[in-house]
Structure 1
Amino acid sequence: MEDKIEMRTICGLCHTGCGMLVTIENGKIAAIRGDKEHPANQGALCPKGVASIDLIYSKDRLLKPMRKTKGGFKEISWQEALDFAADRLGNLREKSGPGALIRFAGAPVSYDGRDSFMQLMASFGSPNFAGVAHLCHVPRITAMKSVFGSPPEPDYAGTKMIIFWGTNPMGSTRYGNYAVEGELGNFRSMIQTARAKGIKVITIDPVKSETGELSDMWVPIEPGTDLALALAMIHVLIEEDLYDSEFVKNWTVGFNELQEHVKRYTPEWAEGITHIPADTIRQIAREYGSTRPAVLRDGNGFDMQTNGAQTMRAVMFLIALTGNYDRPGGNVLFPWARQSFLPDFRKIKFSEKRIGEDRFPLFPEIAGPTLLDEILAEKRRYGLIVTHSNPALIMANTEKIKKAFSKLEFMMVLDMFPTATAQMADLILPSPSLFESYGYRAYSSRQGGFISLKPKLIEPLGDSRHFAKIEYEIASRLGMAGDYAFSNDEEWVNYMLKPTGLTVNDFDGKPVVYATGPADYYKYLKDEFGTPSKKVEFYSDTYAKHGQEPLPSYKEPLALTDWDPQARAQYPLKGTTRKQYEYVHTKFRNLDYLKKLYPGPLVMVHPDDASACRIQEGDMVRVQSPHGSVVMKAKVSDHTKPGLVVADFGWGNPWDASQTNANSLARGDVWDPISGGTPNRLFYCNIRRENP
């Protein structure tokens, strides 16, 4: 008799966390469709969600622990793998001290990536948490907190104007950080619905993205010059008295200093830098200043620049000046379900500072360049645990990464696939798919903070194991089991949800369970701001104390400095990179369903540049920078600016064509002085037909 059931879950393949209804036949996933009752997607699914079945049953999946030998990787048992990992970690601590262990994690698209090996690091005694934070989200959050104390989210329902700046939500399906926008439709229709309601939509982006195409206005800014635009807009708001004088008077500090500071940053000055006409800059500033409420949605385009943190401070100033902070239809603090935190603060055993803490004191994690420099200095031998990440393709300066990782005493990778990073490991441990273990996701919204459960739907394929079980087993071998409140995936979820009073048994097929009441606004009237002054800080004494500019000043992007004229002549074009809608970061390019939709990496070239270089649509071309080169297929399009080529990011794993890692084009020797962010999205280059 056929056993067929449909179960409710959530997708864990990107940050959106869409609801899914999954059909299971005889213990196997047979079909997947979107859950119309889930607020995150209202029944829609992107191609990645549809391809989940391909992901689970991919021929490339890792199903056994793998240990590197002289003859290549060899399958071993879990007993051998866990003993080997514990032995190497124990020896590392004994010889080099607890701070010799580094955890490298990726973007927490699932909470497995957020939480894995956090407690082990604390119990081991190492404060050295590293990852992609310097390239994604955290530089912006660091800046937001310096201005407001807490990072706000866009409240689209009830707004009258939307500015998407450095973000492409139609391509990422992400309209907020953790907030769900359900009142203007799902991620496919939100912009169209907003415009139909008369909401003005502006997109500021060097590339005419999917979001830009749907907007009322696309503003093609010169990459890396967003701070110049923000300062000029501030200039207009203040000069033309378009700011909220009552909010500024009662709830901000440093306005007089800001007013004097931006006098020189006129729209005419900014036009020469951003290549946006001064009249257009004034128009955007006037519309944003006179249309209340309005929202600004920032994006990842800011993080991968050498002035990203200060740029984000200036963008936050725009929200504050217009009084759009925590007001309905502005940028607000939505309710959030309180959860447990890892590592458990009561069980932290740090005895030294994290790597680079003195160099980047305002940033909460190890910045990428600092990590590589520290390993290469060889002052001590380091070990690395890589979880939910692929640093070999994510970080700038690919050759430096390879050299640094070759110096490690021990490297362990948890992944579903033998990625470019996994190839460098001493030990690879197979992770389960999204349907083979328990998980959960917290969301915020106007209606309240809520939780969705990701139940275990099928048994893990092969010998794949959840991080919680792996981590606990290694911790037990190192004598640290007493620090753990969980030993498997279900116990981990229950522990994290403990402050909500919920367990995995409380969901019972529900798409969501609310853990807070609905949103309220103007909370600063009661709680003030979480900054040292308890107000919005235009002028930051904290930044000044740490040797950073207390008010943002425009400087040329470091990616474009230190060039002699002869070298510059060899690389007449600028380059940037883009993510593709069909994929997430460096994942899923080995899945047949997605490969049919987007077979290989493209480089976008403006028709004027294509003509000058004798390039036609579909030609294989080489993009060369002083740091590396890639070979991709040309896409001739006016969706980029003349002089700017746009290479697809995320390729370069073993199953991809060679010479396709776009980050090999970027400089890794310059960075944001606050976050350590490298200019992955800005480089000089040239382009030519390959084998013309």
Structure 2
Amino acid sequence: MSLTRRDFIKRTSLAAGAITLLSGTKVNGLQKNYPKGWKGNLRVKEIPSICEMCFWRCGILGNVDKHGKLLKIDGNPVHPLTHGRLCARGNAGHKLSYDPDRLKYPLMRVGERGEGKFKRVTWDEALDFFAEKLLQIKDKYGPESVGFFPHGIQARFFEHLMKGFGTPNIVEPAFAQCRGPRDVGYKLTFGNNVGSPEPLDFENTDLMVFIGTHIGENVFTGQNTQFSNALERGAKLIVVDPRFSIAAEKADYWLPIKPGTDTALLLAWMNVLIFENLYDKEYISKNAIGFNQLKNHVKKCTPEWASKITELPADMIRETAREMGKLLPKVGLHPGRHFTWYGNDSQRGRAMAILTALLGAYGRPGGIYLSSNIPAPKYPSGKNPKPAPRADGAGSLYPFASRGLGVTNGLVDATYSEDPYPIKGWVVYSQNVLQSIPDPWKTKEAINKLDLMVVVDVMPMEQIFYADLILPEATYLERYDDLYTVKNAKIPFAAIRQPIIDPLFESKPGWWIAKEMAKRLGLEDHFSWDTIEDYLDYRLSGLGVNLQQIQAKGIVEYDKGTPYYDFSKPIKFKTKSGKIELYSKELEKYGFDAMPNYEATDEVPKGYFRLTYGRSPVHSFARSQNNEILYAYQPENELWLNNKIADELGLMDKEYINLENQDGIASNRIRLRVTPGIRPDTVFMVHGFDHKSPLLKKAYGKGASDTYLMSRYKVDPISGGTGMRVNFVRIIKNGEPIMVSGAVSIVSKFKSQKDNVQKPKKKIIMQQTETSEEDEGC
């Protein structure tokens, strides 16, 4: 806990909060004019592209020697968001291409599912088999009986193929397992999704508010740099998190909230802003509808009411609300990213959007700026058939779920139950369905009902053992992908991914696989371009450049002017009313609450802890644990456990234990991280460890898997988002559970004061505020 602000700013601005690898965070000598692209006497050529070690896709420069070997990866200094900075994962990306465990050849199953017996086949044999099986399913059940699980821009060509094939059942974890409920909440309020990256104007903000947002640990170098720069120039910070995260370390106010009670806090903040006349009255009167209903709705949601629910001091709730009111509209309330927590998350997203509106911070400097469109035309294509109704419930059972991204668990459920119709084929592309989706046992049972499962991937994740066909994709360093357009930037831009080295072994880029499959499925008109270069040239034409012109820098910007509303003119929001909708008639029409209410989550059973999880600055989800460099820095995850609990149970820091969830499911062993920086009723681990594939020789069996402890989840009825923080675990030592005998007070709640620069920061303990029994609830 001794990390200083100065240390933190240095670290986040270079490597996003925790670790820097190699020497390439800033590219040396890029101002020199090397002849023919070669870097001085080193004979190293720098080739710009975009990263895919995580979904942020930062700008990179691959350093390639004269023999075509990739030596290292640096950041691209002309990238508009990252400016040459690169995190540990991006620096280590070359080890993905050169991983000896990667998939090298097409493989076809010859044993039972899960047995791991395959034979090597040619690409023609593999694709002929793939096409034949798809057409058999289509003839017997209809094209809708094939489900597609894509991830990333590399899957767009396959998504185009599957739409041409006729299936509506395309599901991405980015919605139901991540930010879907958040985007639904903001769209119902403002008429727009939040999008990615989150368009927070940290350059101009005076106050940042994070609710379960792990900046500094989830590692987007551009946003981390903006965050640390804001701190350095004096912006204030409120962090709501049951864990003392890196961001909480830098906060003016850390609120270690009881998990699952965030909506109560948000309603209490609204109460203070409204009834102390601190909200942006002019902004609301001109741009919003439903204020009187909202005022009546939150009247009883006092800080004293919320204090009993959240276990935060009422004075702290009131003081932080006043801080927002004092500094509005330049308040950057981060909408959050991984938002699927408790099954009622869309209404929490609504509450955050409404609070943003009360602060007058949407579409204004210092708050949330506006996204833009980029004129990158789609290549002319054949017409897709009219699809059947979706099987996953998007747009029907879950009326506000994205029909484009779908509900991942909904498709697993439909496959398992064969309701509303049989799903007999899965195509899984660059996602690990046994690590990204809760209740992996049900996923396995669903897979066993399939006639066909095809996996397209770079690494041999555990799901390949259940596949009928495995297709090795070239890594992101070895291929072109579709044009990457970034709308959520103050100056929108497009970036290309281009090959830095040739594909290794027999791997192929996704666009090639999709185009070859189109020939076999009679969908050639969907891929009418001759080469991938022709395709990209056409898409770039709307920006006034061609592929050759963009290849030198990897980036083209598209300046559309100021990213804020002009409030000197009437503003028409993209809601049905044309106004910010504090009261949602759309929700009311479908039988949901028109304004957010607090709904209690299940209490932690005696002797158990609530299982929470998050990201690491070293790893990306469950995809990077086998990377040689990243493995060296973090070979396994740890379990955060409160120090008072550890003392009571006789447990030591760095000791190995096991976990068992409420359904008797046991974890692999995990090392303890004993700390006062987490609530006694909560434990935390980094997601993505304990891989079950023995073909991942480094990652296999290292650490514990949060996913395999998630035998339960709750589905948000509005969006279909999969709430995964509803599982509880107890500690197992030497094969026996060890129990907490008595109550332990929650971690101290404090306000940290920013003193003069010459003085160290102080932490001032705040005592729990007493609340009256007569205080009415909300």
When residues 45 and 91 of structure 1 are mapped into structure 2, their CA distance, relative to the original with a 3 A threshold, is: same
1:602-641 counterparts in 2 under 5 A? 602-627=638-663, 628-630=665-667, 631-641=669-679
In structure 2, C-alpha distance between the alignment counterparts of 1:286 and 1:518, rounded to whole Å: 33
Match of 1:158 among 189, 201, 204: 204
Q: Does 1:260 align with 2:296?
A: yes
Contact 1:305 1:680 in 2 (8 A): yes
* Mapping for residues 97-112 of structure 1, pairs under 5 Å: 97-106=142-151, 108=152, 111-112=153-154
When the two structures are superposed, what TM-score results if normalisation uses the length of structure 2?
0.82
Q: CA deviation at 1:31?
A: 2.1
Q: Is the 8 A contact 1:228 1:274 kept in 2?
A: yes
TM-superposed deviation, 1:191: 3.4
Could you tell me which residue of structure 2 aligns to residue 74 of structure 1? Answer: 119
In the TM superposition, what whole-angstrom CA distance separates every residue of 1:618-644 from its partner, at most 9, and x where no partner exists? Answer: 211112112423221111112211121
Superposition map of 1:327-346 within 5 A: 327-340=364-377, 346=383
Query: Is 1:86 paired with 2:122?
Result: no
Distance 1:209 1:314, change over 3 A: same
1:667 Cα offset (Å): 4.3
Q: What is the CA–CA distance in structure 2 between the aligned matches of 1:580 and 1:280, rounded to whole Å?
A: 29
Q: 1:225 to 1:301 in 2, by over 3 A?
A: farther
Which deviates more, 143-152 or 57-66? Answer: 143-152
Alpha-carbon distance, 1:283 to partner: 1.2
Give TM-score, length-normalised by structure 1: 0.92
8 Å CA contact 1:466, 1:489 repeated in 2 = no
Letter in 1 for 2:631: K
Counterparts of 2:278 and 2:42, CA distance in 1: 67
2:95 is matched with which residue? 54
Question: Could you say which residue in structure 1 is the equivalent of 2:85?
Answer: 44
Higher radius of gyration, 1 or 2: 2
The residue that corresponds to 1:297 in the other structure is 334
In the TM superposition, residue 495 of structure 1 has moved relative to its aligned partner by: 4.8
C-alpha separation between the residues in 2 aligned to 1:15 and 1:254? 37
2:218 maps to which residue? 172
What is the CA-CA distance between 1:646 and the residue it aligns to?
0.8
The 3-state SS of whatever aligns with 2:237 is strand
**1:368 corresponding residue in structure 2:** 408
The corresponding residue for 1:200 is 236
Alignment deviations for residues 121-147 of structure 1 (CA, whole Å, 9 cap, x no partner): 221111111131211122211211111
Counterpart CA distance in 1 for 2:383 and 2:491 is 30
Matched, 1:273 2:309: yes
Give the letter aligned to residue 361 of structure 2: N
SS of structure 2 residue aligned to 1:629: coil
- SS of residue in 2 equivalent to 1:154: coil
For residue 32 of structure 2, what is the aligned residue in structure 1? none
3-state SS of 2:352 partner: helix
Alignment of 1:72-471 (within 5 A): 72-106=117-151, 108=152, 111-113=153-155, 115-132=156-173, 133-152=175-194, 153-174=199-220, 187=224, 189-292=225-328, 293-340=330-377, 346-357=383-394, 358-365=396-403, 366-378=406-418, 379-439=421-481, 440-444=483-487, 447-471=490-514
Query: Are 2:626 and 1:585 aligned?
Result: no
SS of alignment partner, residue 163 of structure 1: strand
Residues of 1 paired with 2:493 and 2:125: CA distance?
41
1:165–1:2 Cα change, 3 Å: closer
Say if 1:426 and 1:487 are closer, same or farther in 2 by CA, change over 3 A: farther
**SS state at 2:45 partner:** strand
Which residue type is aligned with residue 83 of structure 1?
A: D
8 Å Cα contact 1:191-1:215 kept in structure 2: no
Q: CA deviation at 1:686?
A: 1.0
State the match for 2:60 in structure 1: 20
- Who is 1:184 aligned against? none
One-letter code aligned to 1:12: E
Is the 8 Å Cα contact of residues 165 and 205 (structure 1) preserved in structure 2? Answer: yes
CA distance in 2 between partners of 1:675 and 1:487 (Å): 40
**2:106 partner letter:** P
Does the C-alpha gap of structure 1 residues 394 and 165 become closer, same or farther in structure 2, counting only changes over 3 Å? Answer: same
* 2:732 is the counterpart of 1:688: yes
Q: Is 1:480 aligned to 2:523, yes or no?
A: yes
User: Quick one: structure 1 residues 279 and 35, their matched pair in 2 at CA, closer, same or farther if it must change by over 3 Å?
Assistant: same
Asked whether the equivalents of residues 604 and 645 of structure 1 are also in contact (C-alpha less than 8 Å), the reply is yes
Secondary structure in 2 aligned to 1:222? coil
Look up the equivalent residue of 1:475 and give its one-letter code: A
Q: Cα gap change, 1:506/1:347 in structure 2, threshold over 3 Å: closer, same or farther?
A: farther
Query: Which ranges in structure 1 are unaligned for 5 or more consecutive residues?
Result: 182-186
* CA distance in 2 between partners of 1:82 and 1:688 (Å): 48
Q: In 2, are the aligned partners of 1:602 and 1:632 still within 8 Å (CA)? A: yes
Task: Tell whether 2:592 aligns with 1:548.
Answer: yes
What letter is aligned with 1:665?
L
Letter matched to residue 132 of structure 2: D
